[in-house]
Amino acid sequence: MSAIQRAVRLVLAAALALPPLAAMAQQKDMGVNVAGRSKPTLCAEDDNVYLTFSNPRVRYFKLEARPPAVIGSIAQDSRAPDFTDCTIKDQPPGPEDKVERLVLYEDDELMLVGYRHSEFWRKGDVPVTVGDRMERALHLVQLFAKTPRGPYEYLVLYPLDGYWRLRPLPPARLDEIAYGTSFLVGPVEEKERPFVSLRAVRFMPKIKSFELTFAKGEAGTVRVAELGESAASVEVKLEAGTRGRPFAALRSMFVMETNADAAHVAWKEPRGKGWVSRPVMDFYGSYATEFWLGRTAPSRHNTSAPDTLLKGFAPE
């Protein structure tokens, strides 16, 4: 074999060892199926906006909570519940409820707090562990950052149904940002309402990470990646795919344009040349590499609630 033939064979072998260009592009811009399953409501406390994200190959993605576009013009925030025109079956615990507040972990940078209610509409027991300490039957877990203005709660988890909420730091003229859209990660199920069934939760303070064990033994993590005024973000990793089920979902509220936690969606398609947008109630589905849910006009309910962005979908 001549030197030229050997060189050609080496070049061909190297080329064959590389993934095809199409596969490389797909890795960089991995798409997911997004389904819109929202229903109209008159109640501002009803999570009628429902979006699911599916792709059995996804093992990683990033979720960001960003201040709404109107954050700079908010003169008076509105975060109070509004039960006008509401007939909600699952009401908050009443005055007979006894609440136990537990500081699960605290250091110079953060604090993790859990709440246990004597009366709560969803029953169950998901152990939450930090170090050598384990607490059972917690209904709410709150993560605080210690800031110059005092402890600030920015991430919450409801262990019994797998709901999370995230918000960025507030600008100096506001005490806090309202919570708005909720998100679920892991195998999303439905029984009366969407939920993710958790078997156990472990918090790792040094890396600000929640290790999750799902009902059937699969594992995942939700790790705080960023916290600032411009955004708060988490990185989600899943040990296994969720074949036949969404791997994530968003729940929010829309009554009308000026009474909504989220009113519009926008997304980027693989190799798309621009963002595509729709009113959230007119959205039924897309194939997206990035997906945004938020508002373009002020709302009289949860005025400062953040927009939500999912991106960076990857197989690992």
Q: What is the pLDDT of residues 158-203, one digit of tens each?
A: 999 999 999 999 999 899 999 999 999 999 999 989 999 999 999 9
Buried b (16+ CB within 10 A) or exposed e, 173-191: ebeebbbbbbbbbbbbbee
Q: HSE on the CB side for 271, CA within 13 Å?
A: 6
Note whether residue 24 is domain-resident.
Answer: no
DSSP state of 81: -
Rounded CA gap, 183 and 175, in Å? 24
Least confident range of 85-94, 111-120, 210-219: 85-94
Q: How many CA atoms lie within 13 A of 291 on its CB side?
A: 25
47: in domain: yes
- For residue 6, being part of any structural domain is answered with no
β-pair partners for 156: 142, 165
User: Is 14 within the bounds of a domain?
Assistant: no
Q: How far is CA 112 from the centre of its chain?
A: 18
* 188 lies in some domain: yes
Rounded Cα distance between 152 and 175, Å, is: 9
Q: Would residue 55 count as lying in a domain?
A: yes
For 141, the domain range is 30-90+97-314
Can you say whether the dihedral through the CA atoms of 306, 308, 312, 316 is positive or negative? positive
Task: List the beta bridge partners of residue 224.
Answer: 234
Give me the mean pLDDT over the 77-95 stretch: 69
The domain total for the chain is 1
Give the per-residue pLDDT at 124. 77
Query: Distances in Å between the alpha carbon of 249 and those of 46, 80, 165?
Result: 16, 25, 12
The predicted-structure confidence for 228-278, as pLDDT tens digits, reads as follows: 999 999 999 999 988 889 999 999 999 999 999 999 999 999 988 999 999
Residues 6+ apart with CB under 8 A from 123: 160
- In a domain, residue 289? The reply is yes
Query: What is the rounded CA–CA span in Å between residue 111 and residue 129?
Result: 14
Confirm if 141 and 134 have CB atoms less than 8 A apart.
no
Residue 150 in any domain: the answer is yes
pTM of the model: 0.87
CA angle 122, 124, 126 (to 5 degrees): 125
Are the CB atoms for 34 and 51 separated by under 8 Å? yes
pLDDT band at 79 (very low <50, low <70, confident <90, very high): confident
